């Protein structure tokens, strides 16, 4: 009896004709909706920001891939002109047969040694630019002394048919009287293809 009287005393009495008072609504659902909205907006902002930060390096890489590499500076040995050398070092030994006859291999190496003014301006198309080669001359000659004499061969040309064929064709055109610009143009016309790489060889001088 005591508890019921207490509950009645706390409730507001209604007067005749007055509508009953609606119960108070809790603010908890509204607060939860507001928090959820803030969280969703934050996740969207972070996701968008992360997507933009990831896409920028990809776009930069794509732009860099479309930008052609600048040709390297002409090697110092190209200014020597024809450089006959009586005593050439022996060719590196290899246990398997080269892709071209031995006399063709020897002629290509000698031509590279004695004519840096030609092969330094002739590209190679075997993919050796990945090894740092600048032109077809690098496929055969690895080191020269201060006078320009060959001191060390590059063994790459021994087992590469492309290197040997490019050097042989350049040698034949040179012997027929073609200048270095004509040799370069003919080699590029024959060997350039969308699927083949090539060295970033500097262009030959204008004269």
Tens of pLDDT, residue by residue, the chain (207 residues): 444 444 444 444 444 555 555 455 545 555 556 555 655 655 444 444 444 433 444 444 444 444 445 556 767 888 888 999 989 999 998 889 999 999 999 999 999 999 999 999 999 999 999 999 999 999 999 999 999 999 999 999 999 999 999 999 999 999 999 999 999 999 999 999 988 789 999 999 886
Residue 206: left (phi > 0), alpha (psi -120 to 50), or beta?
A: alpha
Domain membership of residue 163 (yes or no) is yes
Domain membership of residue 79 (yes or no) is no
Domain membership of residue 152 (yes or no) is yes
Domain membership of residue 186 (yes or no) is yes
Residues 173, 186: Cα–Cα separation, whole Å: 9
User: pTM for this one?
Assistant: 0.65
Domain membership of residue 146 (yes or no) is yes
Residues 118, 204: Cα–Cα separation, whole Å: 8
Structure tokens at 135: 């032109």
* 67 Cβ contact partners less than 8 Å away, ≥ 6 residues apart: none
Domain membership of residue 16 (yes or no) is no
Domain membership of residue 189 (yes or no) is yes
Domain membership of residue 55 (yes or no) is no
Split into its structural domains, the chain has a count of 1
Q: For residue 154, what are the domain limits?
A: 101-207
The H or E element spanning position 113 is helix 102-114
Nearest residue to 136 (alpha-carbon basis) of 83, 89, 88, 75: 75
Where are the extended beta strands (E) located within the chain? 141-144, 150-153
């Amino acid at each position: 009896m005591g508890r019921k009287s207490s509950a009645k005393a706390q409730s507001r009495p209604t007067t005749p004709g007055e509508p009953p008072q609606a119960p108070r609504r809790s603010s908890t659902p509204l607060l939860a909706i507001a928090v959820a909205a803030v969280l969703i907006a934050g996740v969207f902002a972070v996701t968008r920001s992360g997507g933009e930060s990831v896409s920028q390096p990809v776009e930069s890489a794509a732009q860099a891939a479309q930008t052609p590499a600048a040709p390297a500076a002409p090697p110092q040995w190209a200014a020597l002109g024809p450089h006959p050398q009586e005593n050439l070092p022996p060719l590196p030994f290899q246990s398997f047969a080269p892709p071209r006859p031995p006399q063709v291999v020897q002629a290509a190496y000698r031509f590279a040694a004695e004519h840096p003014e030609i092969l330094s301006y002739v590209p190679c198309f075997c993919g050796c630019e990945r090894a740092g080669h600048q032109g077809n001359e690098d496929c055969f000659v690895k080191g020269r002394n201060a006078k320009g004499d060959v001191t060390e061969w590059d063994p790459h040309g021994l087992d590469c048919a492309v290197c040997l064929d490019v050097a042989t064709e350049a040698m034949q055109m040179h012997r027929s009287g073609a200048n270095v610009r004509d040799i370069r143009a003919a080699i590029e016309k024959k060997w350039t293809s969308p699927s083949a790489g090539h060295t970033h060889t500097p262009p030959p001088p204008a004269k």
